[in-house]
Chain A
Amino acid sequence: MVRKFGFLVVAILVLASICESAIFNPVSESHRSAALEIFSPSDGSFGSLEETYEALRTFEVLGIENKPDIRTSACASVVDTIWSTSSPLKDLFHALRLNGILKCELNNEALGGIASRLKDSLNDANSLFDFHYSVGGLVLIKDQISEVDVHLEDADKKFRSIKALSQSDGRWRISSSNTESSTDAAGIALETLAGVISLASSEIDQSLIATLKNDIVKLFDGIERYEDGACYFDEKLVDASRHQGPLSASSSVVRGITAFAATTSESLNLPGEKILGLAKFFLGIGIPGSAKDFYHQIDALSCLENIRGSIPLISSFPATVLSVTRKDQFKVRVSTVLGSASPPLSVKLMQIFTSGSKDASVVDQKLKFDADNAVHVLETLPENVGVGSYIFSFEVILDNPEEKKNYATGGRTKVSVHVTGVITVDSSEIAILDSDLGSTETQKKLELPGENAISLSANHLQKLRLSFRLTTPFGHAFKPHQAFLKLRHESGVEHIFVVGNSGEKFEILLDFLGLVDKLFYLSGKYDIELTVGDSVMENSFLQPLGSVELDLPDAPEKAARPPPLPVNPYSRYGPKAEISHIFRAPEKRPPRELSFAFLGLVLVPLIGFLAGLLYIRANLKNLPKSTVPATFAFLFHLGIAAVLVLYALFWLKLDLFTTLKVLGLLGMFLMFVGHKTLSHLASTSSKLKSS
């Protein structure tokens, strides 16, 4: 448990150190194939005009040639929108954008009509989106045909009205009635203002442009940062319907500042480090999952590729795990965000930090440029770099100092490098020593890492010693992460010991006298297993070495019991133990013959009674002879017999309720009949008495 925790802490520290030296890869082939998958047309089109534009723009930036052919349906849609007089402003804007890529057949008349419509909407505009669509549309028309006049007369006024919507922190509101500002709106505003500047028929007041530059600076002040150097613009107000988030906000701002930077001849003085951070943010996403995210990422990267003043250059590394055995070399590739070639530059390795310590060695070694593969190669590793984990710190220096104002290289870049190699294990031996004298009873040579099957025997007065040496390919001592010796008893109880070292020599001495308690006094055969491993060791091994027969004294009363072995978690799905129920022993019943004998015996008194009746000459003289009383008498006797039969049935199977019900009925009958009979008898006897 403690070991696991320790390992976790180490992992977190390693991860933390890696965060500073994260790897960003420029756009690659996997992006292209993913784009074709994500932007797949359904029913011959991508959906709305906006979605179609996004898909085609992505394909255009990535240079995908074999895109799905939706030209006819898309162009039809574009033409419809442009010719229709009732199309909303938003649709016109998207249609014009799409036309810019597809270059559908549209004549000057159509575009001229649109231009005048857009100018009219611009005069009536009061929300940021109205401005954006109108100005954007006019800029697109200007790019597509030159005959139509799209210049704005009162560009100053338009500029001011858009600027009026800005906030003090650099963000923009959507309209004057809206109180909430957003970063996304800021990006749109910048793009629109850039469009206004480019469309102005006369020069715009320089002070206005200066204030706009200030706004951009304020916007950049509010940029958020990750630990690994990526920067992004976050959206405080998240509106789910507009699909906003850091990606769309940052992308929008990048579009805005790129458009603005293109309009002015002087540089914007954008902070190069933050531009590079933005590039890292977009690249750090990897391959996005949704079409919208993909478009935002690719569009932003294409803007960054061409931004005036600070084009970011990304350093990527084909491999950060170098194997000494394979004679790998450390390579650096420097390119633009979209993967295009960089201007001539050189890469210098400045410092090497050893992972886990604060020491750094200053190197200042220039990497050799391999023109065929466009990579910079470190031909030989510095002398003090052996097998292990390091952090390389290097710098990108442009050959032409003039280019510095066009590119953002980012100063020092750190990358985590692992140098792995085959560690030699030699002089390995295992021995049993007699305690005090230190003399060796048994000594055996081991072959590590290889097959071993030694068998030793020891008693509790002796010691077990295991020793070996570890050396790196460069001849230095090596301390691996894991060097464990495990003893497993035949009953399954395991004990793990850490093998300590002094320099190259690793040795462990197990004194059984002190360990009897830990071993739970279990004697018997113990399997020995040695584990030596590290992340930079190419030949880590976990090797069973053989067994040792241990003879330990018997456990005293108070000794701890060995822990119960972990139960196989699937065993509870197996058959359960047989349950033997303990029933109450049935009562001893008498043998049947005895019971039957007594049954017969009980009937004897009845016979005796009947015999006695005969003996005393009991008679039926008083039984009525005439019909009616005779019937009643007969019924009376019948009634009594019926009740007795009912009782017999009650005992055999009836329940009390039924019995009582029937008894009630019979009772009433018996009452009636009995009364009749007995009153008849009574009257007969009284007649006899009186007469």
Chain B
Amino acid sequence: MARSTTKDAQALLHSLRSAYAVTPTNLKIIDLYIVFAVVTALIQIVYMAVVGTFPFNSFLSGVLSCVGTAVLAVGLRIQVNKENKEFKDLPPERAFADFVLCNLVLHLVIMNFLG
């Protein structure tokens, strides 16, 4: 039974990988960016777990920056994805401009909260 489970998992991963291979490059870039942001957030959480919550505002600011930018990137990916029928008429440049603007505002707030 275990062997079949392992085999199934392997098969699942393989199909996942091949399905992912056909995604367009720009979406892959965005995905990579999201992964980068989340990993950075995780590292900060680990650091906080080690040294304690002082100063708490800085920790929040750092984590929220990563999470916020990841969320905005997810929004960008949804809007840019050609297969998404909802945003068919929205040009991807416009979505990117929104992404940049929102990021700038997010980071202003983050920098203020950083202390």
Contact = CB atoms under 8 A, between A and B. Distances in A.
Contacts of B107: 644, 647
Interface in B63-105: 91-94, 96-97, 100, 104
Given A650-B111, A651-B114, A656-B112, A587 B97 contact: no
Contact of B39 (A608, A619, A640, A647): A608
Interface in A600-655: 601-602, 604-606, 608-609, 612-613, 616-619, 640, 643-644, 647, 650-651
Contacts, number: 78
A613 B29 contact: yes
B108 interface: yes
B interface SS class: helix
Nearest to B107: A647
A602 B32 contact: no
A237 to B, nearest CB: 85
A657 to B, nearest CB: 12
Contact of B29 (A601, A616, A675, A678): A616
A interface SS class: helix
Nearest to B28: A616
A609 B36 contact: yes
Interface string A672-686: 001100110110011
A468 to B, nearest CB: 81
B96 A608 contact: no
Size band of the interface chain A makes with B: 35 or more
Size band of the interface chain B makes with A: 20 to 34
B25 interface: yes
B51 interface: yes
A7 interface: no
Given A647-B107, A650-B112, A681-B93, A605 B25 contact: no
Contacts of A659: 108
Given A647-B111, A678-B93, A679-B93, A602 B50 contact: no
Interface in B1-47: 25, 28-29, 32-33, 35-36, 39-40, 43-44, 47
Ordered nearest first, which 8 A-B pairs have the shortest CB separation? A590-B51, A609-B36, A678-B93, A605-B39, A587-B54, A612-B32, A682-B93, A598-B47
Interface of A: 587-590, 594-595, 598, 601-602, 604-606, 608-609, 612-613, 616-619, 640, 643-644, 647, 650-651, 656, 659, 663, 667, 674-675, 678-679, 681-682, 685-686
23 contacts: A590-B51, A602-B40, A605-B39, A605-B43, A609-B36, A612-B36, A613-B29, A616-B28, A618-B28, A618-B29, A619-B25, A640-B100, A640-B104, A643-B104, A647-B108, A647-B111, A656-B112, A678-B97, A681-B93, A682-B91, A682-B94, A685-B92, A685-B93
Given A644-B107, A651-B111, 19 more contacts: A590-B50, A601-B43, A604-B43, A606-B40, A613-B29, A616-B25, A616-B28, A618-B28, A640-B100, A650-B112, A651-B114, A659-B108, A663-B108, A674-B100, A678-B94, A678-B97, A681-B93, A682-B91, A682-B93
